[in-house]
Amino acid sequence: MYAVIATGGKQYRVGVGDVLDVERLAPDADGTVRLRPVMLVGDDGAVTVDPESLSGASVTASVVEQRKASKIVVFTYKSKTRNRTKAGHRQRLSRIRVDDISA
C-alpha cells in the first residue's frame, strides 16, 4: 500500500517503513505526526483519488530526528557597479519514518 501526501508545499509518494526528509514538523508528545491531506491511495493496483473517500485518510509517521540540510550559498552580482551580496541558508528538516497508512 502506498499514498501520496502533501506537506511543506511538496508532494511525496510514501509506503509503510519509508524514511524521508520533509520540512520541519512539530511532533506530538509521543513523537508521532499525522500527515494530511492524502492526495492518493494505491493498493494492489486499485487507486483511489476521490476527495470524498480520502477525507478521512491519513498517514501516521514517527519523527526520527530534527536536523538541518547542507548549507547553500546565495550569491548575487551586478557587473560594473561593485554590487555583490553573499548569504547562506540551511533549511530545517525533520526525518520521518512512515508507520501506518489509513484510508
Give, for 65, the enclosing helix (H) or strand (E): strand 58-68
> In 10 A of CB 38, how many CB atoms?
22
Give, for 19, the enclosing helix (H) or strand (E): strand 19-23
Task: Report pLDDT for 45.
Answer: 85
d(CA 71, CA 37): 30
- Give the cell for residue 74: 546565495
Question: Which residues constitute the domain of residue 50?
Answer: 2-102
In this prediction, residues 11-34 reach a mean pLDDT of 94
Nearest CA to 9 out of 19, 21, 25, 23 is that of 23
Tens digit of each residue's pLDDT (9 = 90 or more) over 44-101: 888 989 888 898 899 999 999 999 999 999 999 999 999 999 999 999 999 999 999 9
Number of domains in the chain: 1
Q: Read off the pTM.
A: 0.82
Q: Quick check: 20 pLDDT over 90?
A: yes
Task: Report pLDDT for 103.
Answer: 80
